[in-house]
Structure 1
């Protein structure tokens, strides 16, 4: 399932400083997380879909890089994003 305009607007409002701040790292991580969860559900239904699996692995790598960037810039922002998205246990 693709990301709808309404969902993106909610994520931008929640994680961005303003409605137009779509490039903020926290916003991008939240959008990657949603896409990852959608692809995970797709792959559970279609386990032989290797092309989608590759896309999932690429998204996970992008999210990991973005989270490392946020962690290096500001550890408090990193912890806030991790807590809000429930990424770590």
Structure 2
């Protein structure tokens, strides 16, 4: 259910803004989105797993805060992230 080290490195390499970047808003949003999608699939199969559902809501809230920050600071990057991660449909 958690993200493997290899998947995490691939996401960081895909969304980083520079070679030394591993914690920018873009990378954090990408990692949270991957974890949210994985957890959503888990909760579709395990409907009574309420503790994981609570964690999912916390992750969605954290991602929303990061997206709001990105929207205020760099609107073009915000739109790009929404499209690349297909968050809005």
Say yes or no: TM over 0.5.
Answer: yes
Give CA deviations for 1:23-71 in whole Å, capped at 9, x if unaligned. Answer: 1101000100010011111111110111001000000000000000000
Give the match for residue 6 of structure 1: 6
Are 1:12 and 1:18, in contact at CA under 8 Å, matched by a contact in 2?
A: no
Query: Could you tell me how far apart the structure 1 residues matched to 2:73 and 2:14 are?
Result: 20
Gap runs ≥5 in structure 2? none
The answer for unaligned runs of 5 or more in structure 1 is none
Query: Is 47-56 or 8-17 further displaced after alignment?
Result: 8-17
Name the count of aligned residue pairs. Answer: 89
Deviation at 1:5, TM superposition (A): 1.3
Contact 1:9-1:19 within 8 A present in 2 as well: no
Aligned equivalents of 1:64 and 1:51: distance in 2? Answer: 20
Q: Does residue 38 in structure 1 map to residue 57 in structure 2? A: no
Q: Which residue number in structure 2 is paired with residue 71 of structure 1?
A: 71
Q: TM-score, normalised by structure 2?
A: 0.94
Q: Which runs of 4+ in 1 moved over 4 A?
A: none
